[in-house]
Structure 1
Amino acid sequence: MAEERGLFIYGIVPSDVEPTPDASGVGDPPGEVTVVRQGRVAALVSEVSLEAALGRPADLTAYEELLDGTAAVAPVLPVRFGTVVTGPDAVADLLDAHGDRFAEALDELEGRFEYIVHGRYEESALVQGVLEDNPAAADLADQVRGRPEEETREQRIRLGEIISQAVELRREAENRELLDLLGPLAVSGLARPPSNELDAVHAAFLVDEDSEDEFVDAVEEFAEQRRGLVRMRLRGPLAPYDFVSAHQLAG
C-alpha cells in the first residue's frame, strides 16, 4: 500500500517569493521546499508523510530557520507549526479564500521583524537581593543555614515561597519597564509567558527596520543596568511569530 503524503505549510508570502535551492524542510529525510501560488500570495510548503510524527527538535529548527531566513528578504506570515493539508489544491483553496486578508497583512509587515528579549535572574544574586529587602526571608535563611534539610523543612518551604513571590513581583515590574522603554521604538510589543521560574523579562517586539539599531542599543542599555543580576539575551531579527495570530491557519 502506497504511503499517504501531504503538504506541510510553513508560511504565507507574496507570490513572487522563491525558496533558495538549499532550503530544507521538515521530516526525515527533509522535504524539498516549494511554493504554491494563488493570486497575490503564496505558501511555502514541503511534502511529508501523513504517517510520520512531526515534532522532533530538528523539525522545529527547520521550520524556524526557513521562516526566519525568508523574513530577512520578504514579509512572511508564519503558519502554526504542524499544519498539514492533503495537497496543492487544498493549499490553493486556503489562499483563495483568505488571499486579500493575507496580502494586507503582508503589506503591513513589509520591512518589519520580530525581536525577542529574554532575561533570566542570576539565582545567587537574586536570593541575596531578596534577603536584603525582606527581613522575614533573612531570618528564615539564618534558621536553615548549616542545618539538615529534614529539620528545617517548614522553614525552607516558607523561604522558597517568599523568594517565588518576590520573583513574580520583580518580573512584573521588569517587564513593565522593558515595555515602557522599548515600546516607543517598536511597532508593537507584548509580554510573553515566563519559560523558567527565574525569568526576569520575556517579551516580543515588532520592529521596523529603520528603528533596528536604536532598538538594539536600548536593549543593550537595559541589560547593562542589570549586569550581574540578570543574564540578557536578544533574539532577532525573526519572522513575526507573535504578531500574526489573527492570520494563522488552523491545523
Structure 2
Amino acid sequence: MAVYVYAITPATHPLRLDGITGVGEPAEELRVVTEGDLAAVVSDAPDGLRAKRRDVIAHQTVLQELLGQAGVLPLRFGALAPDDDAVRDALKERADNYRDRLAALHGCTEFHLKASCDEDVLLRDVLRQSDEARRMNEEIRSGQGGQDLKVSLGELVAAGVDARRESLAAGVVEALRPMAREIREADASGDDFVSVSFLVERERQNAFLEREADLAEQFGDEFSFRLHGPLPPYSFV
C-alpha cells in the first residue's frame, strides 16, 4: 500500500503521536519509519486522496503537533511513497541533506508576509516625483498632446510603477532581514508588491512581530500588510 509522508525528523525527536490522526476518512493511524538517526512520520495513503479541507487540516495538525515538540522537515500535502521500505531508502540516500536542513531549521518557524497597495497610489507617487511625467500629463490634459504623447506617458509611468514596487519590496525585506535566519522571496501578484517568507528563531518571534507591526504602521493606511504564521517552514526545506 502507498505511504503518505508528513515530515522528516531526527530519530531523537519525541514523536508523541498519541491522539493525533492522519489524512483519510476514517483517519489513518500515524506511525514512524526509522533509518539510522532519521525518522519519517507516515500513515497509509487513502485511495483517491485529494486536497479536501478535512485532509489538509489533518496534515497541518500533524505538523503543528510535531513542531511543538521539536524540529521537523515538513513535507507539503500529498507526498507519497510506494511503501515503508521506499521511505527508508530515501532517508538513507539523502541523509546528509536532511541532517543539514534539520540543523538549519532547528528552533525556527516560518512567517509569510504579503504587502500591497492600490496601483493608483503608485501612479500618484510617480506623477509627484517625476517632472517629466507631470509635464506630459499636463500637456495631455490641456489637449496639446497627441496619441504618441499618451503612449510615451504610459510607458514612463509603467516603468516608474515597476521601479516603485521594487523599491518598496526591497525596503520591506531589508527592514525585517535582521530578524530572520533565512529569507525566501517569491513573485508577487496582483496589487502585492512583495511576497516573502522569513525563517525566524522562536526566541525572536515576538521581536519579529513587533518589527513587522511597526513597519506596517510606518507605511500607513494606504498599504495592506498580511502576515501569516507561525507556520511549518515549508519554504526552507
TM bin, normalised by shorter chain, reads 0.7 to 0.9
Deviation track 1:139-175 (CA, whole Å, cap 9, x = no partner) reads 69969xxxxxxxxxxx79x86x777655432221122
Aligned ranges for residues 133-152 of structure 1 at < 5 Å?
Answer: 133=129, 134-135=133-134
1:124 CA drift (Å)? 5.3
SS at match of 1:191: strand
| Aligned CA distance change for structure 1 residues 46 and 137 (closer, same or farther; 3 Å) | farther
User: Counterpart in 2 of 1:149?
Assistant: none
- Please tell me whether the aligned partners of residues 115 and 225 of structure 2 are also in contact (alpha carbons under 8 angstroms): yes
User: Counterpart in 2 of 1:8?
Assistant: 4
Give the distance between the partners of 1:62 and 1:136, measured in 2 at CA.
59
- Please tell me whether the aligned partners of residues 109 and 233 of structure 2 are also in contact (alpha carbons under 8 angstroms): yes
Note if 1:106 corresponds to 2:102.
yes
Aligned ranges for residues 13-162 of structure 1 at < 5 Å?
Answer: 13-15=9-11, 16=13, 17-25=15-23, 27-49=24-46, 52-56=48-52, 58-122=54-118, 125-126=121-122, 128-130=124-126, 132-133=128-129, 134-135=133-134
1:214 CA drift (Å)? 1.5
SS at match of 1:46: strand
Larger deviation: 221-230 or 70-79? 70-79
For 2:22, give the aligned amino acid.
S
1:33 CA drift (Å)? 2.9
User: Counterpart in 2 of 1:239?
Assistant: 232
| Aligned CA distance change for structure 1 residues 172 and 120 (closer, same or farther; 3 Å) | same
Deviation track 1:112-158 (CA, whole Å, cap 9, x = no partner) reads 11111111214554555455555379669969xxxxxxxxxxx79x8
Larger deviation: 130-139 or 179-188? 130-139
SS at match of 1:43: strand
Deviation track 1:87-134 (CA, whole Å, cap 9, x = no partner) reads 111111211222343234223322111111111214554555455555
TM-score, scaled to structure 1: 0.75
1:60 CA drift (Å)? 4.0
Give the distance between the partners of 1:124 and 1:136, measured in 2 at CA.
18
- Please tell me whether the aligned partners of residues 12 and 78 of structure 1 are also in contact (alpha carbons under 8 angstroms): yes
SS at match of 2:187: coil
- Please tell me whether the aligned partners of residues 4 and 45 of structure 2 are also in contact (alpha carbons under 8 angstroms): yes
| Aligned CA distance change for structure 1 residues 116 and 31 (closer, same or farther; 3 Å) | same
TM-score, scaled to structure 2: 0.78
| Aligned CA distance change for structure 1 residues 11 and 138 (closer, same or farther; 3 Å) | farther
Give the distance between the partners of 2:229 and 2:20, measured in 1 at CA.
22
1:54 CA drift (Å)? 2.9
SS at match of 2:235: helix
- What is the RMSD of the two structures over their aligned residues, measured on CA atoms? 3.2
| Aligned CA distance change for structure 1 residues 164 and 22 (closer, same or farther; 3 Å) | farther
User: Counterpart in 1 of 2:185?
Assistant: 191
Unaligned 5+ residue runs, structure 1?
144-154, 245-251
User: Counterpart in 2 of 1:181?
Assistant: 175
Aligned ranges for residues 200-239 of structure 1 at < 5 Å?
Answer: 200-239=193-232
1:71 CA drift (Å)? 2.3
Deviation track 1:7-48 (CA, whole Å, cap 9, x = no partner) reads 1112211223233413332x4444333221222211121212
